[in-house]
Structure 1
Amino acid sequence: MHADSRYHAVYEGWKADPEAFWAEEAQKLHWFKQPDRIFDPALGVYGRWFVGGETNTCFNCLDRQIAAGRGTEKALIYDSVMSGQKRVYTYDEVLTEVQAIAAVLQNLGVGKGDRVVIYMPMVAEATFSMLACARLGAIHSVVFGGFAAHELATRLDDSQAKVVISASCGLEPGRVVAYKPLLDQAIDMARFKPEACLILQRDQLHAPLRYEHGDIDFAQAVEAEKVKGTQVPCVPVLATDPLYVLYTSGTTGQPKGVVRDNGGHMVALRWSMENFFGVKPGETFWAASDIGWVVGHSYIVYGPLLAGNASVIFEGKPVGTPDAGTYWRIVQDHDVKVMFTAPTAFRAIRRDDGEGEHIARYDTSGLRALFLAGERADTETIKWAERMLKVPVIDHWWQTETGWPVAGNPVGLGLMPVKYGSPTRPMPGYDLQVVDDDGHALPPNTLGNIVLKLPLPPGCLVSFWNADERFRSTCLEEFPGYYKTADAGLVDEDGYVFVMARTDDIINCAGHRLSTGAMEEVCAMHPDVAECAVIGVADPLKGQIPCGFMVLKSKVERDEALIASEIVDLVRNEIGPVAAFRTVMVVKRLPKTRSGKVLRGTMQKIADGLPWKMPATIDDPVILDEITEILQKHGYCEQHKAMAG
């Protein structure tokens, strides 16, 4: 341990009295009514935090900061390399925008507990809209802009959204993505129709408004409220009331709506900004992510504003917009002190600028630390970033479900020694253990199931939207008394955590969790497919990419390449381009156990060039030879060995 690390004292302090620890943190925020109980184990699925307390997340992000004298300080920095637009908003200016949007929503009948789906690109208005919902006590559900219509429709139905806030388009390198046709298609598909849609018209593409859908021009409606100077006070909500629902891939293909509450979420995020990321009020923090993902919720919008920081809203890519120096230009121009992104971004930058020539063009001396999360950070990429930036590069681990880091190396408490391949140690709030399949604790350095002892700390999900039983059966039943992370790993003799792999069918593609089971369901929709399997194979840039194996129906005489192309298009249309599904292999049969279970794990090991054993229960061993041969023809098996190992 480094001599100046306070980690052990803080962690032991939390463990000795969790309620006192979180009660003290809660006092750093504003409450309309103090909680009656810090934790009540009898409420909710596993207990609830700050019971009886009344607060408002938007008040704590904006009004509280303005009252503390930060009104004229930077709050949000919008920088779009796609449109060339840049704008800095102070806390005062953000509040003006948020109140105007809240007034528009109020005029549409949106109130406490109503759901609003936000389907937008990375523009400042998306962030203002989230805060406006929080101001009213409405529950927002952000859906990644450009997500396929079918996926958006399932979220409209599950949340029963009263209003949708969207934009005419999103901007990708070399193309404009029209959002409005996708939204219209989703509404046509959805059983539950929203009452109104607010559409932000962007200069790059104007969308025709459909008044039968209740379409309203976003900018015109908001400007009218600004002219009136409408004031919208914050609606007090219970600490245990939902702030948002964020949908994540489910193993059944049915999306899981992760529910985050108001009180615990604020307390955990504010703690993490100061103690984990080590940023001070007034400094600029940049999470290079998207508001469609949990990182965007926690560390573009809520975390920085709760802590009095300026946050960067970036529309662009790490490379190609215009080059691999974009990130360093942002760091220089906006004096970014701490940055957070996915390892994928750094692999792309390293691929295009291995010698760091772009980095040398910019002044990054203000940067104190780089945080990487969202997927496994390979050691070579971390070492490269350390060498190029000359700052600590911190791999840390968490999930959509936890909402904030489970394990990491806390800058704010003083760094501990680095072990490459490990996100270091669990944060206060998390009692992390490794158990075998029967739930028995395993000794150090033994691979097993990573679980978190209940109760989960503030800030973690409280359940799935309208699906307590599904949450219980999916996450809590297999290991009674614990939350199942569905990750496999080990803890070494020093208490360092090593996260090795998913234990279910979720793969991690460029920081996006994707269900191979959901992709299989889509592939099976193709009329020529008899059966299929989708696995995640190692990819040096994205971490993992999906790879599909199709067994065609007998007597199909169409061209296999054409069928493969149709299946790729099908997945793209049903799940979206984010699935990165491009590889389809037609095989005669799939390797299975005698009971009929497809040996996906074995196929994945073969593809990644990892050691594997012939499964004892395999029905026909010859099939694996055939699978190996076809994988080799597609360039797998050997080329991934170094990275996967």
Structure 2
Amino acid sequence: MTSEALSNLSHEDRRFPPPEDLAASANVKADAYDAATADFEGFWAEQADRLDWGQKWDRVLNWDDPPFAKWFEGGTINASVNCVDRHVQAGNGDKVAIHWVGEPEDDSRDITYAQLQDEVNKAANALTSLGVTKGDRVAIYLPMIPECVFTMLACARLGAPHTVVFGGFSADALASRVEDCGAKVVVTSDGGYRRGAPSALKPAVDDAVAKLADGEHAVEHVLVVRRTGQDVAWNDDVDVWWHDVVDDQSTEHEPEMHDAEHPLYVMYTSGTTGKPKGILHTTGGYLVGTSYTHWAVFDLKPDTDVYWCTADVGWVTGHSYMVYGPLANGATQVMYEGTPDSPHKGRWWEIIEKYGVTIFYTAPTAIRTFMKWGREIPDKFDLSSVRVLGSVGEPINPEAYVWYRDTIGAGKTPVVDTWWQTETGQILISPLPGVTEAKPGSAMTPLPGIDADVVNDEGESVPDGSGGYLILRKPWPAMLRTIWGDDERYKDTYWSRWPNVYFAGDGAKKDEDGDIWVLGRVDDVMNVSGHRLSTTEIESALVSHPKVAEAAVVGASDEMTGQAPCAFVILRETAVEEADEPGEGADLVQELRNHVAKEIGAIAKPRQILIVPELPKTRSGKIMRRLLRDVAENREIGDVTTLADSSVMNLIQSGMSGSSDE
């Protein structure tokens, strides 16, 4: 086994074929793969025909100056028209677009497509009255309330690129993003609800606006939604209330068709340090890629399905699979403001039961949390409406996948484990629910029209049964076009390793069948005695133990082996009491170490295992392994500002002295 390729040690024998009835009526069948391979551009032209265009394109793909792509060159389109107006014109104005559910119980709104059109048009007219014109940037710093969707679509209607900043980010993080893209207007609210209590938002905007007041990127207006009724500081020179500026606007707005390559939004990637990295997505290709993959991967039947993506709109999943993809497809969907455990741990399942949700898309970190709480909570609710389950955000552990399928999907619902990124805009690798014989933990194969591969250091395709780097050989419609204001950084970050090949830093393996298993960031690979081991595989081995709900593994420096695996483990609630009994903690640690050795091999056996109450996560649910490496190597803890709860690190550090070290 060479040190160049990722070691491919774990093995999965379980297979789940598609349900026969779903396969028979699936939107996309097996022949789509061959069709896309035979005529790549023709395939994407066919998907583009699912949308309404002002002027049809002259050329499907211009790849004359890689890595700068132009899709549907010469075409004109308006994303807002495709997400709203065309459904009303087709006679579906009375159809519910969004079942909005607030965190406080009994706080909900059903918004039809006709009502959505009125609200988007009023917001577009209001932004125009505040001086926003085509090409101006608008920053959005809102909780998960309908006004967030109204504002995004109003910006798209005007051709004013939006940047949505997650409502949990600090004033400094907000200011750096507003400054980088030069936003003229910030749309915010007094606050939102978080775990049963109002949480302020406007003070962070006030601080950010003050930081930028004397520079070239001073904010001209702050448009404020009244959500919680909290008292807020007010600056009459800048601040305006939504209800004063938007509510009395006309519900008529004549949309302009924009060039297919007109910027739609800038999304700043999480976890960046120094200068923010603004990912630029444009309009035509992005809408084609997101609407097609939403329809194909989830087998969407817009007349009968109720779809729910739990992602916050501050992340790309919320853009692609809560706003633009579903609404372009005329879907009825759920939008929820709060957390899964407020006011009780069954809130999500209660919502699925109430609205008859048929397609449910969430993150592995949420699934593992539910595993920790126990299946008796979802078992109290009728989840029989669910027919497709999705996973997004990071590789899903096989045991979490099986728990999700069995507990939420009644042991028969297909799970689509999707791989894509902020930069890719759309899902690229995923099972198709009516085609794929799925394997727990595998993203399986690239979707039709996507040319993905796993390669070695020389950029050569690795054989089945080995690992390497996950790359894309051809452009795809929803791909990022550049980093905002920095073409060189775009080329260096994503396209410099191999000529005209996209690489964004993920490792992967091909199994014996050639199916793809994503192994997480290449940064999260350990070199143990010359073997390059994926932290993801060791984490999955730990989670497969019946007492473990979640695990994070890092490689720490080791004099003997170069690096050694160190694990941080959250137990299922049923196992916590046992670990607290005298002598039991050490026994359980040894049991877990031996379990990993049995599942993967002795080479992967963790040097240390620390049982912890929580893991350090960003607000989007990603585990911050960098901080865990600091703990494992006894270094001073690095920057914790992007953590959802910075106190977690204090708990972990205080427990480190009691960990196993053999």
- After TM superposition, the score normalised by the length of structure 1 is 0.79
CA distance in 2, matches of 1:253, 1:634: 36
Which letter does structure 2 place at the counterpart of 1:439? Answer: G
Deviation sequence 1:571-607 (CA, Å, 0-9, x none): 45xx34437574269xxxxxxxxxxxxxxxxxxxxx9
Deviation at 1:359, TM superposition (A): 2.3
Aligned to 2:183: 161
Tell me the SS of whatever aligns to 1:265. Answer: helix
2:263 partner letter: P
Instruction: Please give the root-mean-square deviation of Cα atoms over the aligned residues, in Å.
Output: 2.9
Q: Shift of residue 39 of structure 1? A: 0.9
Q: Once the two structures are superposed, what CA deviation does each residue of 1:215-258 show, in whole Å capped at 9, x if it has no partner?
A: 10012211121xxx342111211111111110003655332111
For 1:425, what is the secondary structure of its paired residue?
Answer: coil
SS at match of 2:504: strand
Alignment partner of 1:81 is 2:160: no
**Distance verdict in 2 for CA 1:544–1:66, change over 3 Å:** same
State the partner residue of 1:272.
Answer: 293
Question: Using the alignment, how far apart are the partners of 2:101 and 2:230 within structure 1?
Answer: 19
Counterpart-to-counterpart distance in 1, 2:106 and 2:142: 18
1:240 to 253, 256, 261: 261
Report the equivalent of 1:421: 441
Amino acid at match of 1:544: I
Would the aligned equivalents of 2:67 and 2:495 in 1 still touch at CA under 8 Å? no
- Larger deviation, residues 199-208 vs 216-225: 199-208
Alignment match of 2:44 (pick from 22, 31, 56): 22
1:156-235 matched pairs, under 5 angstroms: 156-190=178-212, 191=215, 192-212=217-237, 214-225=238-249, 229-235=250-256
Distance 1:424 1:7, change over 3 A: farther
- Contact in 2 for aligned 1:70/1:91 (Cα 8 Å): yes
Match of 2:623 in 1: 544
Show the 5 A alignment for 1:4-19. 4=23, 7-19=29-41
CA contact (8 A) 1:538 1:544 kept: no
CA contact (8 A) 1:256 1:464 kept: yes
Structure 1 residues 548, 347: CA separation in 2 closer, same or farther (over 3 Å shift)? closer
| Amino acid across the alignment from 1:450 | L
Mapped pair 1:118 → 2:140: yes
Cα-to-partner distance string for 1:283-308 (whole Å, 9 max, x where unaligned): 21100110000110011111111111
Residue 307, structure 1, aligned to residue 329, structure 2? yes
The equivalent of 2:558 in structure 1 is none
1:301-450 paired onto structure 2 within 5 Å: 301-319=323-341, 321-352=342-373, 354=374, 356-389=375-408, 390=410, 391-411=413-433, 414-450=434-470
Tell me the alpha carbon deviations over residues 549-588 of structure 1, each in whole angstroms, 9 at most, x when there is no partner: 779xxxxxxxx9xx97xx78xx45xx34437574269xxx
Does the residue aligned with 1:49 lie in a helix, a strand or coil?
Answer: strand
Q: CA deviation at 1:263?
A: 0.5
Distance 1:584 1:365, change over 3 A: closer
SS in 2 for 1:428: coil
SS at match of 2:352: helix
Q: Secondary structure at the match of 1:245?
A: strand
> How far is the alpha carbon of 1:196 from its aligned partner?
0.5
Is 2:396–2:441's contact at 8 Å kept on the other side of the alignment?
yes
Per-residue deviation, residues 311-343 of structure 1 (Å, max 9, x unmatched)? 211012222x12221111111111211010001
Contact 2:222/2:240, CA 8 A, preserved across alignment: yes
- Measured in 2, the distance between the counterparts of 1:28 and 1:273 equals 12
Aligned to 1:592: none
1:458 aligns with 2:477: yes
Paired position in structure 1 for 2:576: none
Q: Distance in 2 between matches of 1:223 and 1:637?
A: 63
Check the 8 A contact 1:408/1:425 in 2, yes or no: yes
Q: CA deviation at 1:428?
A: 1.8
Q: Is the 8 A contact 2:465 2:512 kept in 1?
A: yes
The residue type equivalent to 1:179 in the other structure is: L
SS at 1:578's partner residue? coil
- The aligned runs of 1:564-579 (5 Å cut-off) are 571-572=639-640, 575-578=641-644
- Paired position in structure 2 for 1:473: 492
Contact 2:33 2:447 in 1 (8 A): yes
Displacement of 1:545:
3.7
Q: Which residue of 1 aligns with 2:599?
A: none
* Distance in 2 (alpha carbons) for counterparts of 1:262 and 1:549: 40
1:244/1:44 CA distance change after superposition, 3 Å: farther
Output the CA distance in 2 between the equivalents of 1:253 and 1:635. 34
Match of 1:336, SS state, is coil
Match of residue 492 from structure 1: 511
Whether the 8 Å CA contact 2:161–2:266 is kept in 1: the answer is: yes
Q: CA, structure 1 residues 549+377, in 2 after alignment: closer, same or farther (shift >3 Å)?
A: closer
Q: Kindly indicate whether the alpha-carbon contact (under 8 Å) linking 2:98 and 2:332 is maintained by their aligned counterparts in 1.
A: yes
Identity of aligned residues (%): 35
Letter in 2 for 1:199: V
Amino acid paired to 2:302: P
**What CA distance in whole angstroms lies between the structure 1 residues aligned with 2:198 and 2:256?**
38
* Offset, 1:13: 1.1
Q: CA deviation at 1:538?
A: 5.1
Q: State the partner residue of 2:275.
A: 254
Number of matched pairs = 546
Could you tell me which residue of structure 2 aligns to residue 58 of structure 1? 80
The corresponding residue for 2:10 is none
One-letter amino acid of the counterpart of residue 361, structure 1 = K
After superposition, the Cα gap between the structure-2 partners of 1:129 and 1:505, relative to the gap in structure 1 and judged at 3 Å, is farther
Q: Which moved more, 1:247-256 or 1:23-32?
A: 247-256
Structure 2 vs 1, CA of residues 162 and 630 (structure 1 numbering), >3 Å: closer, same or farther?
A: closer
Once the two structures are TM-superposed, the CA of residue 421 in structure 1 deviates from its matched residue by 2.1
Whole-angstrom CA distance in 2 between matches of 1:539 and 1:372:
21
C-alpha contact 1:156 1:193 (8 A) present in aligned 2: no
- 1:189 deviates by 2.1
What displacement does 1:383 show? 1.3
Whole-angstrom distance in 2 between the partners of 1:464 and 1:200? 30
Alpha-carbon distance, 1:185 to partner: 1.2
Instruction: Report what 1:519 is aligned to.
Output: none
Query: How big is the shift at 1:59?
Result: 0.2
What residue number does 2:649 align with?
583
Distance 1:161 1:550, change over 3 A: same
SS in 1 for 2:400: helix
TM-score with structure 2 setting the length: 0.77
- Cα shift readout 1:243-288 (whole Å, capped 9, x = no counterpart): 1110003655332111111101111122112211111123211001
TM-superposed CA distance for 1:164, in Å, is 0.4
Paired amino acid for 2:86: R
Distance across 1 between alignment mates of 2:290 and 2:488? 27
Instruction: Assess if the C-alpha contact under 8 Å between 1:449 and 1:489 holds in 2.
Output: yes
Deviation of 1:436 (Å) = 1.6
- Aligned pairs (5 A) from 1:586-625: none
Larger RCO: 1 or 2 (CA < 8 Å, sep 6+)? 2
What's the counterpart of residue 589 of structure 1?
none
Tell me which residue corresponds to 1:128.
Answer: 150
CA contact (8 A) 2:104 2:196 kept: no
In structure 2, the CA distance between the partners of 1:334 and 1:276, relative to structure 1 (3 Å rule), is same
Distance 2:251 2:86 in 1: 19
Shift of 1:539: 5.2
User: Tell me, which stretches of 5 or more residues in structure 1 are unaligned?
Assistant: 510-515, 517-534, 552-559, 586-606, 608-628, 639-645
1:287 counterpart residue number: 309
Name the SS of the counterpart of 1:419 in structure 2: coil
Distance 1:83 1:168, change over 3 A: farther
Superposition deviation, residue 85 in structure 1: 1.2
